[in-house]
């Protein structure tokens, strides 16, 4: 039988989602906990891998098992085996043709920046700190050229293993609430470090170091070496994966920083 589940996690203590062998991963912790409840080895597939230090509130996984457990048993049993910084939010039985990665037609991320002179004492691992003033309106205006289907080679990590750099950004909004600046981005799929590289380049516009038109120039150049830095991982959250309605997955319930 196949199950789908939603995982939230604080990525601070992990090398990322994927098992790499040299450091603890979120995937390893989830598989070990599920396997303990199933009483047999469980492997999981996720909707989108995250890097070291990156968080998630709506990571979707699927797994197959012969174990007879109801969704409540899977949920509470697995959470009892997980460390405190990882938790399942829900577990539901799902059709056999559901695939956490390939059934998803879009994904959404949020990048959170605290923009003030003093460093944060709270949540220092949950957001990026930028001490110089940012013009979020200029950042938003510059970012709109990225909407649509493009070659995002300028915002692709050197080690990215994707076959090509063509992606479609469907939504991209930068906005401020007090000293917090948010970058919301939704696309059909993402390249390795794509969101963090876009944010790193937009920060140069936000400080006035680069003009608004610079982002369009970067997009056309298709050259990662010309773009801005890779923004720090702690500000990035995997928010949601989108699936066809026929799967009837639970609607996301998002925390205040993300909603």
Q: What contacts 196, CB < 8 A, 6 or more positions away?
A: 51, 111, 230, 231, 232, 233, 236
Query: 61-90 b/e with 16+ CB inside 10 Å = b?
Result: bbbebeeebeeeebbebbbeebeeebbbbe
CATH 3.30.70.660 location in the chain? 106-238
Burial class, 24, CB count within 10 angstroms (exposed 0-12 / middle 13-18 / buried 19+): middle
Specify the pTM: 0.94
pLDDT in tens, the chain (259 residues): 999 999 999 999 999 999 987 889 999 999 999 999 999 999 999 999 999 999 999 999 999 999 999 999 999 999 999 999 999 999 999 999 999 999 999 999 999 999 999 999 988 899 999 999 999 999 999 999 999 999 999 999 888 878 899 999 999 999 999 999 999 999 999 999 999 999 999 999 999 999 999 999 999 999 999 999 999 999 999 999 999 999 999 987 776 666 5
Query: What pLDDT, on the 0 to 100 scale, is given for residue 256?
Result: 67
CATH 3.30.70.580 location in the chain? 2-103
CATH architecture, range 106-238: 2-Layer Sandwich (3.30)
* 2-103 CATH fold: Alpha-Beta Plaits (3.30.70)
Active site (catalytic) residues: 51
């Amino acid at each position: 039988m196949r199950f789908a589940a939603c995982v939230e996690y604080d990525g601070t203590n992990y090398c990322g989602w994927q098992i790499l062998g040299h450091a603890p991963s979120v995937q390893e912790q989830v598989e070990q906990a599920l396997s303990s409840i199933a009483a047999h080895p469980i492997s999981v597939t996720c909707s989108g891998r995250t890097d070291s230090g990156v968080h998630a509130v709506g990571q979707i996984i699927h797994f197959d098992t012969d174990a007879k457990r109801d969704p409540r048993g899977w949920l509470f049993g697995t959470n009892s085996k997980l460390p405190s910084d990882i938790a399942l939010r829900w577990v539901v039985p799902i059709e056999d043709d559901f695939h956490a990665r390939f059934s998803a037609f879009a994904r959404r991320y949020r990048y959170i920046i605290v923009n003030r002179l003093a460093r944060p004492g709270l949540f220092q691992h949950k957001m990026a700190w930028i001490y110089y003033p940012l013009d979020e309106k200029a950042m938003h205006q510059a970012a709109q050229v990225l909407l649509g289907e493009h070659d995002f080679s300028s915002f692709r990590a050197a080690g990215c293993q994707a076959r090509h750099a063509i992606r479609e950004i469907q939504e991209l909004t930068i906005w401020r609430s007090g000293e917090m600046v948010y970058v919301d981005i939704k696309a059909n799929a993402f390249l390795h470090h794509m969101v963090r590289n876009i944010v790193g380049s937009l920060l140069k516009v936000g400080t006035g170091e680069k003009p608004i038109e610079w982002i369009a120039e970067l997009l056309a150049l298709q050259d990662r070496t010309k773009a801005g830095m890779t923004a720090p991982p702690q500000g990035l959250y995997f928010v949601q994966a989108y699936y066809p309605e026929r799967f009837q997955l639970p609607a996301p319930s998002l925390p205040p920083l993300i909603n």
